[in-house]
Each structure stands twice: as structure tokens, then as C-alpha cells.
Amino acid sequence: MEKSNVRRVILFPLPLQGCINPMIQLAKILHSRGFSITVIHTRFNAPKASSHPLFTFLQIPDGLSEAETRTHDVTLLLTLLNRSCESPFRDCLTKLLQIADSETEEKKQRISCLIDDSGWIFTQPFAQSLNLPRLVLSTYKVSFFRDHFVLPQIRREMNLPLQEQDDPVEEFLPLRKKDLIRILDAETEVLDSYSDMILETTKASSGIIFVSSCEELDQESLNQARQDFKVPIFAIGPSHSYFPGSSSSLFTPDETCIPWLDTQEDKSVIYVSFGSVATISKQEFLEIAWGIRNSDQPFLWVVRVGSVHGTKWLEAIPEETIDRLNKKGKIVKWAAQQDVLKHRAIGGFLTHNGWNSTVESVCEGVPMICSPFVWDQLLNARFVSDVWMVGLHLEGRIERNEIERAIKRLLLETEGEAIRKRMELLKEKVGRSVKQNGSAYRSLGHLVDHISSF
Ligand code: UDP
């Protein structure tokens, strides 16, 4: 009797939009290379199974209360999830392995490995106890993932409070001291021990997959990471380039964005979005509104429901100002971002520099205005403005004059043209990496071989 050759990979994403998208993209890539896919996921922020009929989805309880699902404290959320998901995840995975074992020879599908987010800290010892190889997926830029493990030490050794300075942080380049203050201010010692656990469990893993990085964006850090972690490392490039389209969106995208962009001139629109988690104060919200309006450029602005403190959606803006805004642009609750960035009318992206958004912008050659809020966003923004020089940095000043000025510099002035040219070159370089024989494409081949070898 023929034995089934198909191998199954188990994926377990963290339930955040910026983690679900790359994991589902990886699932599509591995499926196209012949693997069967099972996604274990929490009830909270469950991916839409109906959008991916070729995958098997298994939901586990996450123990979060209604109030906990609304928290904006990501560290707290991750701590709670790691605490409450361990036991249901163990039960689910054990059952899957038992079922796989008990199948008849002809139906038998070997489970090759578990791939889960670096932020799950209980999966490594459990997978090890089952003799199941575990690969870690990192949704961070390689340099951030590698260097952020130094933060607990910096916190212990530095004389706080730090001076607000432009000087570089030697252990964490190209971060500046003023960025470090913002990272250390916002993060707590709870996070330090969480980072230590991530480091330990990653070092014990069977490899690390960087889904949105490639040699072209991160060569030096990749070399260093290979020495630090001593496990195989794969940088498979902007994963959305292999299968475009955000079919793993947790929110419903406003479908009127693209028809509206069709009515705008080439490279004239500033796209504004701060991702799926960041929240802002009412004052910052008003400053952005006025900055955009005063720039007199058309805009597409994503304001997530609940993203402005103390309000539901747009109430903080007086109605007559909304009327004035609507004459020049469009405000929506969620957009199909990858499609928006691809549109010929988009001329710039005012962004929080989440790593996915940053890479999506690079892939479409859209220069950025950087307004990072927390964590890796501060490092990503430094790469954009200081290293690749493909964007302007607001330096934390969310003020109407600064925003108006930055939009005009980027969209209307010669400085903007130079930035756009550099961005075009970066776009081409990164684009080549996912083409046949490009660095990311080859790394993907090595990943497939690695998984097949288990
Ligand atoms: N996104 C989207 N529509 C929006 C805003 C964001 O589809 O209106 C997507 C975006 O394309 C990206 C993800 O949500 O893939 C956000 O991830 P990122 O790492 O940029 O930021 P995070 O949400 O994790 O802070």
C-alpha cells in the first residue's frame, strides 16, 4: 500500500494582527511547497478560517476575560496569554500527534515540526519533550530581535534617568539615546524576564525564521545572529511578496479606498496609519488632523475604532473640521494596506513603523514619515530615516506644524524627490531578493529542505 508522502506543519501564531499576517503568509508559502498546514490559534483574535479553506484551524481557549481582550498593554496581554494557553495548547498538540500516529499507513501524515512565534515561551520545552522540532518565527527586523536581548542589561547598568540625547547607543545601533529612553520608559522589568525566556527558548530551538527580512535589509545582523544563536537562520524576505493580499485581516477593510484613490493624481496622496495596536491621545489626534489638513495634500487616514483615548472614533474632531477634512481626503476605520500602498496615487506614508508596515512600504517604494511610538518601531524608524534615508522622522513631535511641514517636504519639495529615488533603489534591491536566485528565495529553499529533513 502507498504511504502518504505529505508532511504536516503545525503553526501557532500570537493573536496580534502584526503576527498573524506573516504566519498566514508563511502557511501559504509552505502549502505551495507541498506541506499540509494546521493552525492552532486562540479564541481571541482568531484568524478567519473561511478565508483559508486549504488549512486546518484548531481553536484553543485562551482564558482572557472580555476586559482583558480590550487592554492596550501588549506586555500584559502576552503574559496572560502565555499563562493561560499553555495547558490547552499541550492538550491540543498531544491529541494531534496521537491522531497522526494512529492513522492507517495509507493516510498517515508525518508531523514535521511546530512553527510558532518567538513570543510563546512555553512551547519549546514541551515540543522538546515530544521530540518535535520547533522553529521560531520572528516578526521583528533581525537587528531588533538580536539586539533587544541586551535591554535588560542596559537597564541594570545605565544610570537612569538618561539624558535626552542624539548620541547613538553603541550596543543597539542605529538607536539613539533618546529612542532608548522611550523604549525603557515604556517597558518594565516584567518584560526583561520575558525577553530572557525568549532568548533561552530560541537558542534551544531548531531554527529561526525571519519572515520579513532578507540579506539586503539586514546582512550584518544576520551574520551576527548566526553566531549568537548557533541554530539555522532563514531570512525569507517580505513574505507578502510571494502571495500578495491581506486575506488574514482581523478587521474589515473599507472597500471605498481604492475607487477613491483612483480619482487622485499620481503620488499625491499621503497615507496615514498607525497599525493595529497603537493608540494616541485626543490632543495628538487633533494635531494630526490639523497637520494633514494644513498641508493641503489629499490624504487617506486610517483611524481604528478605539484608537483615540477616551473616544469611540472621530468625536474628538469638531464637525466643521471633519467637513473640511472630507473635502480633501478620506478617513476610514481600516484599509487593505498592501493594496493601498501599491496604488499609483500614494506619495507617502505617515506611519508608526511597525515592521510589517515598514517593509510593505519599502516593497512598494513609498517613502515614509516616521512617527514611532514604542518598542521595535523606534529602531525601524531609525533605519528608515538615518540608514536607508528613505523617509523623514518626526522625532516624537506629533504637532500640526511639524506634520504639515514633513508632508510638504516629502510630497512637494526636491528633498522629497531625492528620498523617493533612494526608496526606488531599495525597493528594487529588496524586490530582487524574492525572485528566483535572490537571497530570500534561496533561503526559503533552505527552509523547505530543513523542514523536510526532520
Ligand atoms: N494593516 C492593514 N490595514 C490597516 C492598517 C494595518 O491591513 O488599515 C496591516 C498592515 O498591512 C500590516 C499589519 O496590519 O501588515 C500591521 O502590522 P505592523 O507590524 O505594521 O504593526 P502592528 O499592528 O503590529 O503595530
Tens-binned pLDDT, residue by residue, of the chain (454 aa): 455 678 999 999 999 999 999 999 999 999 999 999 999 999 999 999 999 999 999 999 999 999 999 888 898 999 999 999 999 999 999 999 998 888 777 777 799 999 999 999 999 999 999 999 999 999 999 999 999 999 988 888 876 556 678 999 999 999 999 999 899 876 677 888 899 999 999 999 999 999 999 999 999 999 999 999 999 999 999 988 888 766 788 899 999 999 999 999 999 999 999 999 999 999 999 999 999 999 999 999 999 999 999 999 999 999 999 999 999 999 999 999 999 999 999 999 999 999 999 999 999 999 999 999 999 999 999 999 999 999 999 999 999 999 999 999 999 999 999 999 999 999 999 999 999 999 999 999 999 999 999 9
Give the amino acid at 328: K
0.95 surpassed by complex ipTM: yes
Nearest residue (by CA) to ligand 1, atom 11, is 337
* Cα 303 to ligand 1 centroid, rounded to whole Å: 12
User: Which residue out of 210, 276, 301, 303 has the highest number of ligand 1 atoms within 8 Å of its CB and is therefore the one to mutate?
Assistant: 276
Give the integer Cα–Cα distance in Å for 326 and 320.
10
Domains of the chain: 7-158+169-242+434-452 (3.40.50.2000), 257-432 (3.40.50.2000)
Stated as kind and residue range, the H or E segment containing 145 is helix 142-147
Q: What is the pLDDT of residue 341?
A: 97
Q: What is the pLDDT of residue 239?
A: 87
3-state secondary structure of 137: strand
Give the full edge-to-edge strand order of the sheet including 329-332. 329-332, 299-302, 269-273, 346-351, 368-370, 391-393
Q: What is the pLDDT of residue 248?
A: 84
- The finding on whether 112 has its CB within 6 A of some atom of ligand 1 is no
Stated as kind and residue range, the H or E segment containing 360 is helix 355-363
Give the integer Cα–Cα distance in Å for 211 and 193.
25
Strand partners, 302: 332
Give the integer Cα–Cα distance in Å for 133 and 119.
17
* Cα 249 to ligand 1 centroid, rounded to whole Å: 9
Q: What is the pLDDT of residue 158?
A: 73
Q: What is the pLDDT of residue 337?
A: 96
* Cα 406 to ligand 1 centroid, rounded to whole Å: 22
* Cα 248 to ligand 1 centroid, rounded to whole Å: 11
User: In which residue are the cell numbers 495596536 written?
Assistant: 277
- Enter the pTM of the model: 0.96
**Residue in 132, 127, 92, 93 with CA at minimum distance from that of residue 113:** 132
CB 338 within 8 A of CB 244: yes
If you ran DSSP here, which 8-state letter would residue 160 be given?
A: S
Q: What is the pLDDT of residue 104?
A: 73
> How many CA atoms are closer than 13 Å to the CA of 9, on its beta-carbon side?
29
By CB atoms closer than 10 A (0-12, 13-18, 19+), residue 64 is buried
